[in-house]
């Protein structure tokens, strides 16, 4: 519902003119328990692009450059691609997004911590995976992802961690998360449909519960 509300101000969002109440969500058909239709991301045709270049060249470009503070990829042991592989991961990883190691490496490399993140674009293939990532990336303790979202933390403009300010894969479009990177750049340039005032650090994550990656973007 939070991401759908964000999408309402984003002219690119597929679901921009389709507001959703809790009752709408609860009335949507169950797909794979506990995920209902509106817990699953969209299926979209679309494209987006990024220009990645050196700081020196970026200085001469028309658009304000945004810095890649750090990027990381990887997966804990036991995870792999394929439908039958993740059943054998370690017990302590089972109910997580398996991104905690990756997150810790990303924070260390970027020289920032969860408290420094002003805005986040969190890969939202399914709503449950968003909750697990909030825990993996250190925004709350294990098992507290639900209450954190319930508190309004992800909502623009007043939440402590405005997230998926474009509407995400649930409500903007499913461009496999590259649209989250584009939105991360917009969020720091200040030209997002839901601009977070003074934002200097934006976390962008990729899929949870599979081999994953993430990037920390920064504005000087």
Partner 1 sequence: MSERFFPDTMPSPVADATTLPWWQAAAEHRLVVQRCAACGHTRLPPSPICPECRSAEASWQQVSGRGEVYTYTIVHRPIAANQPLPTVIAVIALEGAGGVRLISNLVGIDPTAVRIGLPVELVWEDMSADLAIPRFRPRAA
- Write out the catalytic residue numbers: 123, 174
Number of H helices, E strands in the chain: 8, 6
The Cα–Cα gap between 140 and 138 comes to 5
Please give the span between the terminal C-alpha atoms of the chain, in angstroms, as a whole number: 32
Q: How many residues bind partner 1 (CB under 8 A)?
A: 14
Strand 201-205 versus strand 119-121 pairing type: parallel
Binding of partner 1 by 27 (CB under 8 A): no
Nearest in space to 99 (alpha carbons), one of 209, 22, 200: 209
Looking at 43, 45, 83, 198, which residue binds partner 1 (CB under 8 A)?
83
Looking at 22, 23, 32, 49, which residue binds partner 1 (CB under 8 A)?
32
Looking at 78, 114, 146, 159, which residue binds partner 1 (CB under 8 A)?
78
Distances (CA, A) of 12 to 114, 123, 150, 155, 193: 29, 18, 26, 19, 9
Nearer to partner 1, 89 or 149 (CB): 89
Q: How far is the CB of 28 from partner 1 (least distance, A)?
A: 11
Looking at 11, 23, 33, 220, which residue binds partner 1 (CB under 8 A)?
33
For residue 102 the two structure tokens come to 């990756």
Peptide bond into 33 cis (omega under 30): no
Candidates 13-21, 68-76, 80-88, 180-188 — which segment interacts with partner 1 by CB under 8 A?
80-88
Binding of partner 1 by 77 (CB under 8 A): yes
Looking at 87, 158, 198, 220, which residue binds partner 1 (CB under 8 A)?
87
Binding of partner 1 by 85 (CB under 8 A): yes
What residues make contact with partner 1 under the rule CB under 8 A?
29-33, 77-78, 82-85, 87-88, 94
């Amino acid at each position: 519902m939070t991401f759908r509300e964000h999408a309402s101000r984003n002219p690119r969002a597929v679901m921009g003119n389709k507001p959703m109440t809790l009752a709408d969500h609860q009335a949507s058909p169950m797909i794979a328990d506990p995920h209902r239709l509106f817990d699953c991301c969209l299926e979209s045709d679309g494209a987006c692009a990024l220009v990645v270049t050196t700081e020196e060249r970026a200085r001469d470009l028309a658009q304000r450059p945004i810095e890649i503070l750090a990027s990381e990829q990887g997966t804990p042991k036991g995870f792999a691609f394929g439908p039958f592989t993740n059943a054998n991961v370690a017990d302590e990883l089972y109910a997580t997004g398996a991104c905690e190691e990756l997150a810790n490496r990303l924070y260390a490399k970027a020289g920032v911590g969860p408290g420094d993140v002003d805005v986040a674009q969190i890969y939202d293939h399914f709503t449950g995976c968003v909750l697990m990532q909030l825990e993996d990336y250190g925004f709350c303790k294990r098992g507290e992802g639900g209450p954190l979202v319930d508190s309004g933390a992800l909502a623009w403009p007043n939440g402590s961690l405005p997230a998926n300010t474009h509407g995400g894969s649930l409500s903007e479009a499913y461009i496999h998360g590259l649209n989250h990177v584009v939105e991360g750049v917009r969020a720091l340039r200040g030209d997002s449909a839901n601009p977070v005032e003074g934002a200097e650090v934006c976390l962008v994550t990729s899929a949870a519960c599979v081999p994953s990656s993430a990037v920390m973007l920064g504005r000087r």
